[in-house]
Structure 1
Amino acid sequence: MRYAHILMAVASEYWAIDEDKFDQIVSFLALQASGEKFSSEELQARISRQTERDVARREGAVAVLPFRGVLANRMSLMSDISGGTSYEGFARTFDAAVSDPEVKAIILDVDSPGGVVSGVDELSQRIFSARGKKPIIAHVNSTGASAAYWTITAADEVILNPSAEVGSIGVMMVHDDISAALEKAGVKRTLIAAGKFKGEGAPFQQLSDEAREFRLQRAEFYYDKFVGRIASNRGVSVSAVKSGFGQGRMVTAEEAVAQKMADGIATLEQTIARFGVSAAKPSRSNFAREREKRAMTI
């Protein structure tokens, strides 16, 4: 029943994640919970795992920190099936790079569909508060969706691979009503609870209109925090984020730069080379150049 418990935990979270990836995760967990098993090759094809190469590294005086996979405050929930990044673990790695006198710049190597809401705003604020100590560049290679984008807008710059996409700004949750499956199995479950709303989200019953409305209000609360953080990080208005920035969809690198969701387009090698002797610098906004100039003079 391990996967059934994970599925219930997934359903209790609010998610800022690309919906296609979220559907893959929920579908996989539902199949596993039902008793269907996959080989390691099939699991790899359904939900990609992190690779052993996804570790922090140094390129000269540049710290390259991978920010990849499904994001969560603590990864015990998902790490065994999909890999991913812990907000808490990444914060410790980031703090170490900021404090290291031999590190002159930090590059966040981003490829993530997003993840859970819990913990993301704290990490975004942590990165934002480190601005000015040394250049912090978020390089998206190749996806920076939802909670990942929420986080990386706190960097001094957001640079995208030519084929990269960012966006998917929004919050969602899922409620699986398994009452029909239990009835088919001959199981009739009764909920006994104290407290007006205690147990209203139990998966063996339909959501009431009141319970659905509460969950919608909570999703909108987190969405407003999401939008507000992006607006603050990117120096734009809340209305600009709500009326543009993909409105829940992913956008291409060119669209992202045009909408001020990102600062430039380059390969990761070019971004790293900017801090070397023979760097061929990518085209960037004046605002981004001024931020880097201020950071380098600290």
Structure 2
Amino acid sequence: MKYAHILMAVAAEYWAIDEAKFDQIVAFLALQASGDKYSAEEVQARINRQAERDVARREGSVAVLPFRGVLGNRMSMMGDISGGTSYESFGRTFDSALNDNDVKAIILDTESPGGVVNGVDELSQKIFAARGRKPIIAHVNAYAASAAYWTVTAADEVVLNPSAEVGSIGVMQVHDDVSAALEKAGIKRTLLSVGKYKGEGAPFQPLSDDAREHRMRIAQHYYDSFVGRVASNRGVSVKTVTDSFGQGRMVTAADAVSRGMADRIATLDETIARFAGPAPVKSSRAFARERERRALDF
């Protein structure tokens, strides 16, 4: 794989992701680009462990769908190695469970730092549009950051493990200026382009003020979409999301429930038992009680 090219592609994306995980991704790609690579056996071992852990399954009449790792519209071998989920692929798995008459409820088993912006709003809308057909529960075990939270707020209910965290609402992009490194290596690269702004984000030259402002406008557009979708999904105002939903920080379980970012605290086994067992526990919220009534009707 051309890891140096992948590194530049990563820099070109707009991300809704936890900053620490993003730093790990960039560091991993930089390591690969420098020549320190996994062997075929190491790659296969990592893929196998991920496959064993992240398989959609049935618990009685409940479909449990893993929504884990770095999120992207389409995932490559890099996604397999690091652990990731494709928005498109997950959407197809979700549709399959939704259309299965033997499935009474759907649980999104979530553990993700977020991912790229492209594709996330489409999946969030898909899940939101399915409300009412059967209960859809997002169970966060143990974190849903950024694009992951953007997605799972579309579920009927967001349930958190006692030690879970949610939030990291924000959008970012990185530009690596490698011009000094090229100069040190004795390389002088010249960009030939047609079009006023074509090539303005090239990594071998500093980012101009115009390019910076343009990228910030795009980031602001995605951020506004993020906040607007979460507000709609959670049934609150945009101001509530911007002021009270962490402002880019992660929020612990009890705090998240008190702020309206999530609905309750429970373990995954308890969440499954509510819908797989004969007598679901009643919710303290009116709309949650209505979801449980619908579950019993299936």
- The alignment's TM-score, normalised by the length of structure 1, stands at 0.93
Larger CA deviation: 276-285 vs 209-218? 276-285
Letter in 1 for 2:73: N
Partner of residue 22, structure 2:
22
Structure 1: segments with no counterpart, 5+ residues: none
> How far did 1:60 drift?
0.4
Aligned equivalents of 2:68, 2:282: Cα separation in 1: 23
Contact 1:121/1:150, CA 8 A, preserved across alignment: yes
1:81-133 Cα shifts (integer Å, max 9, x gaps): 31200000000000000000000100000000000000000000000000000
The alpha-carbon distance between structure 1 residues 42 and 24, as it changes in their structure 2 partners (threshold 3 A), is farther
Contact 1:145/1:250, CA 8 A, preserved across alignment: yes
Structure 2: segments with no counterpart, 5+ residues: none
1:228-284 Cα shifts (integer Å, max 9, x gaps): 000000000000000011110000000110000000000000000001336573854
Contact 1:7/1:26, CA 8 A, preserved across alignment: yes
Partner of residue 155, structure 2:
155
How many matched pairs?
297
> How far did 1:28 drift?
1.6
Partner of residue 210, structure 1:
210
Contact 1:18/1:168, CA 8 A, preserved across alignment: yes
Asked whether 1:134 is paired with 2:148, we answer no
1:130-162 Cα shifts (integer Å, max 9, x gaps): 000000000000010000000000000000000
Letter in 2 for 1:198: K
The alpha-carbon distance between structure 1 residues 186 and 290, as it changes in their structure 2 partners (threshold 3 A), is same
Letter in 1 for 2:165: E
Identity, in percent, stands at 75
> How far did 1:30 drift?
1.5
Secondary structure at the counterpart of residue 67 of structure 1:
strand
Contact 1:270/1:279, CA 8 A, preserved across alignment: no
> How far did 1:39 drift?
7.2
* Structure 2 counterparts to residues 34-73 of structure 1, below 5 A: 34-37=34-37, 50-73=50-73
Aligned equivalents of 1:13, 1:292: Cα separation in 2: 40
Contact 2:273/2:280, CA 8 A, preserved across alignment: yes
Larger CA deviation: 235-244 vs 271-280? 271-280
* Structure 2 counterparts to residues 143-182 of structure 1, below 5 A: 143-182=143-182
Contact 1:171/1:223, CA 8 A, preserved across alignment: yes
Contact 1:114/1:146, CA 8 A, preserved across alignment: yes
Larger CA deviation: 277-286 vs 22-31? 277-286
Aligned equivalents of 2:14, 2:22: Cα separation in 1: 11
Aligned equivalents of 1:269, 1:40: Cα separation in 2: 36
Partner of residue 221, structure 1:
221
Partner of residue 276, structure 2:
276
Contact 1:169/1:249, CA 8 A, preserved across alignment: yes
> How far did 1:50 drift?
2.8
Letter in 2 for 1:220: Q
> How far did 1:287 drift?
3.0
Letter in 1 for 2:245: F
The alpha-carbon distance between structure 1 residues 74 and 36, as it changes in their structure 2 partners (threshold 3 A), is same
Aligned equivalents of 1:274, 1:235: Cα separation in 2: 24
The alpha-carbon distance between structure 1 residues 260 and 209, as it changes in their structure 2 partners (threshold 3 A), is same
Aligned equivalents of 1:264, 1:240: Cα separation in 2: 19
Contact 2:282/2:289, CA 8 A, preserved across alignment: no
Aligned equivalents of 1:91, 1:289: Cα separation in 2: 26
Contact 1:62/1:107, CA 8 A, preserved across alignment: yes
Partner of residue 107, structure 1:
107
Letter in 2 for 1:50: Q
Partner of residue 78, structure 2:
78
Secondary structure at the counterpart of residue 200 of structure 2:
coil
Letter in 1 for 2:256: A
